[in-house]
Amino acid sequence: MVKDVLIEKREIMYRDALNEALKEEMARDDKVFIMGEGIAQRGGSYKVTVGLLEQFGKKRVFDTPISENGFTGAGIGAALTGMRPVVEILFIDFTMLILDQLINQAAKFRFMSGDTASVPLVLRTQGGVGNGLAAQHSQSLEALFYHIPGLKVVMPSTPYDAKGLLKAAIRCDDPVIFIEHKLLYMNKGEVPGGEYIIPLGQADIKRTGTDLTIIAWSGMVPKVMQAAEILAKEGISAEVVDPRSLVPLDKMTIINSVKKTEHVLIVQEAARRGGVGSDISSIIQEEAFDYIDSPVKILGGLNTPCPFNLNLEKVVIPQVEDIIRAAKEVIYAV
């Protein structure tokens, strides 16, 4: 549950909220340690781990070789002995190198041990397009991990969510894939100064509305919020639901919103084909079919590798104007 020790109101960046979560959890529990490429002396490529080496020392904050499979395996081993490692993979694209460790080992160990052992591992990584990083550094791969039983998948969209969810992930006894978005690190938002935890599996209604439910997560949430503002000026009241964690998924918040608005648009940055949006759509069709007045629409990225060119990069994922157009198609469907 969310704790009520909220002191000061302030605005901080997404990356600083993550830094605070790591700092607080490492101070609270000496079993928590962090490792990854360039996360110690350099403070990480996105400056999430700045200052942690100086505060906690090289035994709890350390750089690894460029060997994702090797150090992820070390993290899983440490988790099995009772430690709580936070392993950073610089780009989600590089998780392709550790799939055996994650899928065949970490995800299945609790089940295969007859619930006698667990893997309290957090794998922090970042995904999504942005900054012209091209096809091998711009993927949205949450659907891959969403499909695997035994893994939890978290994708915060705001600084407040980033801090509360990362603290919850570190305290979780199962492996958590914690996916940050590269374009959110510098975003500012209100984060209380006190202790708080956001439970995994608790969606957030970012904006209330009556005409249309828009479901989005991670980097799509700011775009959807902009679109909702514009739609409101045109007389369309959109409710924005952010699942925050995809596994576990808060189905009830989604279904209750759908029952109220009777229209649904799902927006994902990942390629449209085989995405998480398709599964959420199927859940709505199965559990709220009698309440929807038009087909559930999914707006996703194009089924293509991400181009390097910045203008083309914008074409392959949904933009604000695309969301507005899709919302109107749902509302005015005949």
Average pLDDT, integer, range 154-165 = 98
Average pLDDT, the chain: 96
Domain ranges within the chain, ordered by starting residue: 11-190, 204-331
pLDDT digits (tens, 9 = 90+) for 294-313: 999 999 999 999 999 999 99
pLDDT digits (tens, 9 = 90+) for 82-95: 999 999 999 999 99
pLDDT value at 1 more than 50: no
Question: Which among 163, 184, 166 is positioned nearest to 176, based on CA atoms?
Answer: 166
For 279-294, letters b (16+ CB in 10 Å) and e give: bbbebbeeebeebbeb
Furthest C-alpha separation in the chain = 63
Beta strand ranges found along the chain (DSSP E): 11-13, 32-36, 61-63, 84-89, 122-127, 152-154, 176-181, 188-190, 204-207, 212-216, 238-242, 245-247, 264-271, 297-301
Residue 138 sits at φ, ψ, to 5 deg, of: -140, 20
CATH architecture entry for 11-190: 3-Layer(aba) Sandwich (3.40)
Q: How far apart are CA 146 and CA 149, in angstroms?
A: 8
pLDDT value at 5 more than 60: no
Q: How far apart are CA 92 and CA 223, in angstroms?
A: 21
Indicate if 68 belongs to the active site. yes
pTM of the model: 0.96
Q: How far apart are CA 66 and CA 59, in angstroms?
A: 19
| pLDDT class of 7 with cuts at 50, 70, 90 | low
Instruction: Catalytic residue, from 20, 25, 37, 68: name it.
Output: 68
pLDDT value at 3 more than 70: no
Instruction: Catalytic residue, from 20, 25, 137, 313: name it.
Output: 137
Given CATH 3.40.50.920, say whether it is the number of domain 204-331: yes
pLDDT digits (tens, 9 = 90+) for 48-57: 999 999 999 9
Please tell me what DSSP assigns to residue 105: I
Q: Does residue 58 contact residue 40 with C-beta atoms inside 8 Å? A: yes
The percent of residues in the chain predicted with pLDDT above 90, rounded, is 96
pLDDT digits (tens, 9 = 90+) for 18-69: 999 999 999 999 999 999 999 999 999 999 999 999 999 999 999 999 999 9
Element holding 314 (H helix, E strand) = helix 310-316
Taking the CA atoms of the chain, what radius of gyration do you get in angstroms?
Answer: 20
Residue type for position 269: E
- Judged on CB neighbours under 10 Å (0-12, 13-18, 19+), 232 is middle
